[in-house]
Amino acid sequence: MLFSKPSRFLLLSAMAITSSILADEQEEESIEVPEPTQFITEHSAEFNNQRIDYRAIAGETYIRDLQGEPKASIFTFAYLKTNLDGDEVRPVTFVWNGGPGSSSTWLHMGSYGPKRIVVPSDGEHAGLPPYPIVDAPETILDATDLVFIDPVGTGFSRALGEYEGKDFWGLNEDADSMALFIQTWINEHNRWNSPKFLLGESFGTTRAAAVAQRMEEEMSISLNGILFISQALDYQGSTPYVRDNIVSFITYVPTMAATALYHGKVEPQPESQELFLQQAREFAVNEYLPALFKGNTITPGEYLAVRDRLAYFTGLSTDYIDKANLRVQGNRFAKELLRDEGIAVGRSDSRYTQDQIDDLAAESDRDPAGDGISAAYKTALLSYMRSDLGVDWDRQYLNPADPDLSRNWNWRTAPEGSFWEPAYVNTAHNLATALRINPSLNVFVASGLFDLVTPFFDAEYTLNRHDIRPDRIQYEYYQGGHMMYVHEPARIQLLRDTRLFIQSQVPNR
């Protein structure tokens, strides 16, 4: 076939462009993902009066697709005992924080790591650097190895190759990647027969329930135990922003009561905090819930009785409760309780207070507790990484997370393109499934009494239903907030309780 000169020119040009594109694609395909980066150091310290030699591995683990191609780099801080006793089989506990979009900084540097940041224990601001970073001999390295995990888009963890961060940013996507990471890690470290635990905080408990179900049901990997720090499985009970969400009004009452008592707003003073909080529970279920359920059909006498009791437990005025029509929202309570003093209490820890700019606002514009400790925790981790763990890397440590993570997070529980009606997030059903599959699996639940983010009564409400047997759950309560370990006595108690739970779930110890 003959072509005119212009036609031949166009053909040759097209061929050249195609060849260039193919060359670029081949060059792109030929780019190899580098080997995982790891920083390994050796240490020795005393934990729970036992001398433990341990290897600290701060580094990447690659999770891969079915073709063996790397999907993501998951960065972890692993602490592994090296002075093993004979044929000792060590438990391993996988630890993560929440968010979604939080690195493991908080649990790592606040409670379970071998070093810790020291901040004021009484709800005061952490102040200015330098911040004390000290040994943590009370932590649980005598009982278990520890792996602190930063999900994709947090810390040093990143998507790889053709994958993007949003491929891992979602309720299901996150659980899938974390379950795959654990399977990969135990395979690479030959820990298949080790007792295994999941420990998560806040959204990390949401994640832990979903991961447990995947491991037990889809991967045939048995867990020895799950530890929830500030439980958040069914979000209806921790969503006070929705004014017609009756459940949240009920679940928040005991925490509001604890907060009001702490700040001296309860009159008359109760005999004890424990008795007062139990009375608050009973009032919420037996009086407050029926009143809200009745709505406009409630009688004037019933209304006044409930209003006055609610004012007693919350420390709020009857005038405010009248204006709220009995519907006291936990997020607004944080601003209202001490409004006459011009300060707001913390949401993640209501022991903290802050003088905020707008005294007329219905809600707080900031969280005094988060502002009080965030800078100290980040400083402590980044300093400790370089000084003790030898992490000398030019990659940015994302804490807070990748700014694209929150706006790209996918809460859908059904595949794209299929029908899905938005609902409160709830992974309690995943936990129930895991517990049915593994009848020896038990759950430890740690709650702070001053936590206005994930109230302790919501943990009871959630886990006492959803077909979960009560004898599978252990509840413990602490004089702190969402991160109860900020309070030093609570930190010591939490570590002691955690150690005992782990030891109780390991056969033949």
Which structural domain range is residue 349 located in? 241-368
Same domain, 232 and 255: no
Domain count, the chain: 2
Residue 333 CA to residue 364 CA, distance in Å, equals 9
Establish if 284 belongs to a structural domain: yes
SS3 34: coil
Same domain, 298 and 436: no
Same domain, 274 and 227: no
Establish if 31 belongs to a structural domain: no
**Other beta carbons within 10 Å of 347:** 26
Domain boundary among 305, 339, 368: 368
pLDDT in tens, 55-101: 999 999 999 999 999 999 999 999 999 999 888 999 999 999 999 99
- Partner residues linked to 76 by β-bridges: 59, 149
Environment class of 305 (CB within 10 Å of its CB; exposed 0-12, middle 13-18, buried 19+): middle
Establish if 20 belongs to a structural domain: no
Domain boundary among 368, 394, 426: 368
Q: How many CA atoms lie within 13 A of 28 on its CB side?
A: 8
Same domain, 222 and 336: no
pLDDT in tens, 385-424: 999 999 999 999 999 999 999 999 999 998 888 998 989 9
Which residue is it, tokens 């792996």? 147
Establish if 9 belongs to a structural domain: no
Establish if 264 belongs to a structural domain: yes
Establish if 480 belongs to a structural domain: yes
Question: At 202, which CATH number?
Answer: 3.40.50.1820
Same domain, 329 and 399: no
Same domain, 261 and 218: no
Same domain, 74 and 218: yes
Report residues of the chain scoring pLDDT below 50.
1-19, 21-23, 25-28, 30
- Give the global pTM: 0.92
